[in-house]
A and B are shown apart, each in its own frame.
Chain A
């Protein structure tokens, strides 16, 4: 009888310590882990699919061959070119226009014709009242050869990133105008 009482007293009472996982905890952790693993297996491919366009490098589409460098003069010339675009999963081709010119130092730059007022398309020398300027037919915004805003528009014309390679002019993305600052 006394030996039985001794055995009973030796069984630990209360919650198990961290070293001794209970059956309930073991089942909870195992089922939770297995559920999380299976859930991740289903959800991760969906997330990867959703962010796929973001993970693609811009790559080869950055610069487009547009014009022969030898043909660029100090008078702006209009060039049209095709730019492959990727909008999410939708691939398309945009037709873009650039006014390309060589400055006094022989450096070639290309201006975007999109007016900085409300987005109409400017033209070179298309208003006889203001010769040798870019003019917007919508609300009369005017710009210098360098794209500096003279009237109506709040900012200078944007320009394309430009690269000369093998006697060809390559144009890249549209960036804010830096030619006006060079002049100043």
Chain B
């Protein structure tokens, strides 16, 4: 579910079921033209669909971190830490455009990066995501 789908009452009532936060990371540089920025957001949306829809009863999608800069890793780590301190057990950082392997996002429990998945897996993206998320929950 998206963060905006909850009211204060529905969140209070159901929060025990939602233990995983999904942080979308667009990774814009600021150099993009408007159509390029729109395309980046569309790619992120399509990639998000592969995670949000199958697990909408357990994962809450938070507002996206849009820009990528020199201190981005520290910033993402800080957000992950705060999100977990607010009560989420797991945080997943997801990006459709930038490789997150080896970037040091150590505060997240799982990093899903489309370029990394496409580079390293022979499996379909959908089944790779499923395996990664379900392995996270079954640790």
Show the binding face of A for B, using Cβ within 8 Å: 115, 117-121, 136-139
Contact in complex: B53, A118 (CB < 8 Å): no
Contact in complex: A137, B137 (CB < 8 Å): yes
Contact in complex: A137, B134 (CB < 8 Å): yes
Task: Tell me the residues in window 46-63 of chain B with beta carbons closer than 8 Å to chain A beta carbons.
Answer: 53-58
Show the binding face of B for A, using Cβ within 8 Å: 14, 17, 53-58, 130, 133-134, 137
Contact in complex: A139, B134 (CB < 8 Å): no
Given the complex, which residues of A lie within 8 Å of B134, measured CB to CB?
137
CA distance in complex: A138, B130 (Å): 11
CA distance in complex: A25, B58 (Å): 70
Given the complex, which residues of A lie within 8 Å of B133, measured CB to CB?
137
Given the complex, which residues of B lie within 8 Å of A118, measured CB to CB?
14, 17, 56-58
Contact in complex: B137, A119 (CB < 8 Å): no
Given the complex, which residues of B lie within 8 Å of A137, measured CB to CB?
54-55, 130, 133-134, 137
Residue among A117, A120, A139 having the largest count of chain B Cβ atoms under 10 Å: A120
Q: Which residue on A lies nearest to B49, using beta carbons?
A: A95
CA distance in complex: A115, B54 (Å): 10
Given the complex, which residues of A lie within 8 Å of B130, measured CB to CB?
137
Supposing A137-B134, A137-B137 touch, asked if A121 and B54 sit within 8 A by C-beta, the answer is yes
Smallest CB-CB A-B distances: 4 pairs: A118-B57, A138-B58, A121-B54, A120-B57
A115 vs chain B, min Cβ distance (A) = 6
CA distance in complex: A121, B126 (Å): 13
